[in-house]
Amino acid sequence: MKLVKHIANLGYGSRKQVQQMFRQGLVTDADGEVLYADDVVDHDAIRIEGEALDPAPGICLVLHKPAAYTCSTKDSGRLIYDLLPHRFRDRSPALSPVGRLDRDTTGMLLMTDDGALLHRIVSPKSRLDKRYVVELAEDLRGDEGAAFASGTLMLESEDKPLLPAELIVLGPRRAELVLHEGRYHQVKRMFAAVGNHVLTLHRSGVGGLRLDGLQEGQWRLLDAADLQQLFGSQD
Ligand code: URA
């Protein structure tokens, strides 16, 4: 791929703007030698104003999503992209969330520009657990775990029962729920189905991956070892 297109695709500007950066001598190799738009150079050797390029396409990252951020590119309020380097919003292929978390939900959000990886993460065949910690408005009655594990619980306006899910009680109004599928507003609707109401919702893990000290609003790129952890023993 031509250097101009490669750099424009990473969100550094339109092709015209990137051409201009070449003309201004802002694009160099690692030794500071000015590069030209038709040079053939490895991604890792390119510098813009002395800085290494953002990672090449094929990334996956984990973001600890705070409340009040929307999983969208163009909502009017705070967006998950506001927590990432500004160029990440303009990358091609696009960097997309792997599934969505509600605006008020906190915790682990995966994002990738790799369509095959995204499909593999969300595919039921991968059987990746999603773990949520909830704070509830009402005390747990004691029969919710059995209802969630039954494989017969129906959500309102759906015609297919939920797959069995595990409930781990952490306190009178606090629990962890482990899901093996992802339906719209699933956790909130499950607790509504047993007469309760979710006050706060936090996703603590997906597959074998945990936030492991990543603070709210922070993100990090996943490497091959992280992906192996995500998919457990499948890799
Ligand atoms: N279930 C929900 O209800 N909301 C989320 O954000 C995720 C799962």
Model confidence pLDDT, tens digit, residues 142-154: 999 999 999 999 9
Which pLDDT value is given to residue 233? 54
Determine the Cα–Cα distance for residues 204 and 108; give it in Å rounded to an integer.
6
Tell me, using a 6 A CB cutoff, whether residue 112 lines ligand 1: no
Q: Is 102 exposed, middle or buried (0-12, 13-18, 19+ CB in 10 A)?
A: middle
Tell me, using a 6 A CB cutoff, whether residue 201 lines ligand 1: yes
Which pLDDT value is given to residue 155? 96
What dihedral do alpha carbons 58, 77, 211, 55 form, nearest 10°? 20
Query: Residue 8 is encoded by which pair of tokens?
Result: 């424009």
Distance 96 CA to ligand 1 centre (A): 17
Which pLDDT value is given to residue 235? 46
Which pLDDT value is given to residue 124? 87
Condensed to tens digits (0 to 9), the pLDDT of residues 106-115 reads 999 999 999 9
Residue 235 annotated among the catalytic residues of the structure: no
Which pLDDT value is given to residue 38? 87
Distance 198 CA to ligand 1 centre (A): 10
Determine the Cα–Cα distance for residues 206 and 179; give it in Å rounded to an integer.
10
- Active-site residue, selected from the candidate residues 29, 90, 102, 114: 102
Q: Which amino acid is at 225?
A: A
In whole angstroms, how far apart are CA 221 and each of 4, 10, 60, 73?
Answer: 25, 15, 6, 20
Which pLDDT value is given to residue 161? 97
| Best probe residue, ligand 1, of 72, 102, 109 (max atoms within 8 Å of C-beta) | 102
Segments of the chain with pLDDT less than 70:
233-235
